[in-house]
């Protein structure tokens, strides 16, 4: 038997059941098992906290831009991105409102400057 034939024979499906899927467990986990520990944050930040950070620098937000889908910004980043020399032409017409932590959909917005 030449080398190629031996290799091809080795690649064929094995005759025993060694490559089949494992069987499904038949017993249920006991009630005394500890729950699985999920990922936890070492900083104790929540999703609500993250929503109050500046989109650019992650500092606490002070403004919300109406033209940027209500994205939160700190004052410095909003000025750099909307008024400064690096501001895009379309962004110069955006208006900012004071950022409030607990914002409700029917809450009145008051435009500030620019």
**Domain CATH number, residue 68:** 3.30.160
Total number of domains in the chain: 1
Domain that holds residue 86: 47-101
Any idea which residue has 């899927």 for tokens? Answer: 21
State the pTM of this model: 0.52
Tokens of 29: 């986990």
Is-contact 64 71, C-beta < 8 A?
Answer: yes
| 111 domain residue, yes or no | no
Q: Mean per-residue pLDDT for 101-109?
A: 56
| 75 domain residue, yes or no | yes
Higher pLDDT, 99 or 12: 99
CB-hemisphere CA count at 13 Å for 92? 7
| 14 domain residue, yes or no | no
Q: Mean per-residue pLDDT for 31-41?
A: 68
């Amino acid at each position: 038997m030449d080398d190629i034939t031996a290799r091809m024979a080795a690649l064929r499906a094995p005759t025993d059941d060694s490559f089949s899927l494992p069987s499904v467990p038949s017993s249920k986990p006991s009630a005394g098992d500890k729950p699985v520990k999920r990922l936890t944050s070492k900083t104790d930040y929540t999703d609500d906290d993250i929503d109050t950070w500046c989109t650019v620098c992650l500092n606490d937000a002070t403004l919300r831009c109406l033209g940027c889908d209500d994205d939160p910004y700190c004052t410095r980043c909003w000025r750099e991105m909307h008024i400064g020399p690096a501001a895009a032409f379309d962004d110069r017409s955006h208006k900012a409102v004071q950022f409030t932590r607990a914002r409700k959909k029917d809450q009145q917005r008051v435009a500030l400057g620019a």
